[in-house]
Amino acid sequence: MKLDGPSLYALFISASNALDNNKTAINNMNVFPVPDGDTGINMSLTLDAVRKLDETYVQQNVSELSKKIASLILRAARGNSGAILSLFFRGMSKAFCDCEEIDTSDVARAFRRGTEEAYRAVMNPTEGTILTVMRRCAEEAEAAVAEGRFASDDVRGLFSHIVDVGEEALAHTPDQLPILKEVNVVDAGGYGFMTALNGMLAALNGNPVARNDNDVATKEADFSTFDTESITFPYCTECIVEKYDEFKGEDKAEEFHRFVGGIGDSVVFAEDDTIIKVHVHTDHPGAVLENAVKFGMLATVKIENMRIQHSAIVSDKQEVKKEQAPEIAAPENPFGFVSVCMGAGIRDTFKDLGVDNIIYGGQTMNPSTQDIIDGVNKTPAEVVFILPNNKNIYLVAVQASKLIKDKKVVVLGTRSVPQGISAMLAFDPDGDVDANTAAMEEAAKAVVSMSVTHAVRDTTIDGEKIENGQMIGMVDGSIDCVANTPEECLSKLTAKMDGASYITLFCGEEVNEEQSAMAEQIIRDNVPTAEIVAIQGGQPIYSYIISVEK
């Protein structure tokens, strides 16, 4: 059998369900026993975006459907694993361009294109990871089709073969990456990828994966407590515009987009090659329509008075959901900054250094591509620097930067909070983009980042036995020492602080004043020549984050 649009969508839903059902198992396969094992969560949240697909797209052909799915997944991508997964499916959608339905040759070509897109995004690909599994699937799919092992309409047979090859490649990842063999696991990202493919195969076999029901009841909103007059913009205005020929193509109606963004709130502006879809809450629905007809013919129009609607909702005890969209700030300043971090104290530190917008995230809570896009759009600057401050967020930030057209975006290679802070300290408001980028990157590399956290499972790494609950000392992302208490762990880390001139200690949300003072004293006793500043960072997961400058 070949695959049409609705059948392909069913495969994605089954894959999404499989990832969601197995996200904890995937999390637990992360090599390091630190509490940042969020590969399963990231991949699950990334692919979960397929559920947001409008019903009208589900019935489209493979080309249109896969293009829309790829866009949704890319914007929802979280973490390196989610970004790589989204890029794989983006590559597949490009291979499916102009396809009404797909056969085995299309599938083989899509696996190759998806693998190429994923590899292109990773600067230094490592064997024994999700990329290896993707590549082996693509190679064997191409070989099988070239050798005529499957009829052109036997998509199910080819896909079954691809899954067998992928499982074998996954099983060999410990032979390619010694750290996997040492802790006796396969690559977590590769396992997640195969979980998704197995979900797709299940749908092809007529047994799609159902999602486990983990939903919990939530309190229903009480709209009777909301004042009708608090609705700032009363008219919910929606229209679909069929573009004139001169405006056909993507990103041809930015002038209209900016106008709509400045005339109300709850803006949703969707544009493709031939149509524009607008949703806005405004005082002037007529002005929206007057500007719309400059770009095309009005296909549909809907205007509703939300104040009247709200009165009906209260009396009938109905619920209304309103779409929300981020504002796009005008470029008032030459430079702006978006930083990812967790903890009120760390947030305030970045704010004090001039960061415009903070995206709440870090370990175990990686922001999505869309979260970063929204943060950049809200920043009133011509050039926006993004500080990911986490190696697992960097790739998503890079993908977000490629989707932003209205501003110049520079993603700095900051892999930790200390690196992000050092980068901000190096910024020169009188310098140009290139000079600042170079200076901030250099400053980030010069600082040593340390942290203290706890192990979430028993393991052995580099011959060091680590028990669940023990404290782990990290230096620049690698495990340096193990201890039974945070203070003992911090004391061991001071051996790597020799020669430091300035040390900043960020205390976690569970660290009280007494413990904070004790930690500061431990560093002071062991590194007497350094200037030390202790800040209540308020970050979760890490008892201490330490910035060490020589």
CATH number for the domain including 366?
Answer: 3.40.50.510
* Residues of the domain holding 494: 449-549
| Long-range own/partner contacts, residues 115-123 (CB < 8 A, 24 or more apart) | 115/88, 115/91, 116/91, 117/87, 117/88, 117/90, 117/91, 118/84, 118/87, 118/88, 118/91, 120/87, 121/83, 121/84, 121/87, 121/395, 121/398, 121/399, 122/84, 122/395
Q: Stretch 526-541: mean pLDDT, rounded?
A: 91
* Token couple for 51: 């559920």
In a domain, 213, yes or no: no
Q: Are residues 162 and 65 in the same domain?
A: yes
Of 388, 413, 446, the domain-final residue: 446
In a domain, 327, yes or no: no
Q: Are residues 293 and 339 in the same domain?
A: no
* Helix, strand, coil % in the chain, rounded to nearest 5: 50, 20, 30
389 vs 74: which has the higher pLDDT? 389
CATH, residue 301: 3.30.70.980
Q: Are residues 439 and 519 in the same domain?
A: no
Helix 188-204 to helix 155-171 angle, to the nearest 10 degrees?
160
Q: Stretch 278-285: mean pLDDT, rounded?
A: 79
Model confidence pLDDT, tens digit, residues 5-24: 999 999 999 999 999 999 98
* Token couple for 256: 């209209």
Q: What is the pTM of this model?
A: 0.66
Which range of 77-81, 108-112, 221-225, 263-267 scores highest in mean pLDDT? It is 108-112
Model confidence pLDDT, tens digit, residues 53-98: 888 778 889 999 999 999 899 888 887 788 889 999 999 999 999 9
Q: Are residues 395 and 425 in the same domain?
A: yes
CB atoms under 10 Å from CB of 432, counted, come to 11
Of 316, 345, 368, the domain-final residue: 316
Q: Stretch 401-422: mean pLDDT, rounded?
A: 94
Please state, for a pLDDT cut of 90, what percent of the chain lies above it.
56
Q: Are residues 192 and 180 in the same domain?
A: yes
Alpha-carbon span 226 to 238, nearest angstrom: 24
Q: Are residues 141 and 72 in the same domain?
A: yes
Per-residue pLDDT band at 429 (split at 50, 70, 90): very high
Q: Are residues 174 and 257 in the same domain?
A: no
Q: Are residues 442 and 453 in the same domain?
A: no
450 DSSP β-pair partners: 475, 546
In a domain, 35, yes or no: yes
In a domain, 517, yes or no: yes
Of 186, 204, 222, the domain-final residue: 204
Our count of domains for the chain comes to: 4
Cα angle 359-326-228, degrees, rounded to a multiple of 5: 115
506 close to 346: Cβ distance less than 8 angstroms: yes
Q: Stretch 334-339: mean pLDDT, rounded?
A: 96
pLDDT value at 271 more than 50 = yes
Q: Are residues 82 and 139 in the same domain?
A: yes
279 vs 199: which has the higher pLDDT? 199
Model confidence pLDDT, tens digit, residues 451-500: 999 887 777 776 778 888 899 999 998 889 999 999 999 999 999 998 89
Alpha-carbon span 525 to 548, nearest angstrom: 15
Q: Are residues 149 and 79 in the same domain?
A: yes
pLDDT value at 170 more than 80 = yes
In a domain, 224, yes or no: no
Q: Are residues 235 and 198 in the same domain?
A: no
Q: Are residues 441 and 465 in the same domain?
A: no
CATH, residue 524: 3.30.1180
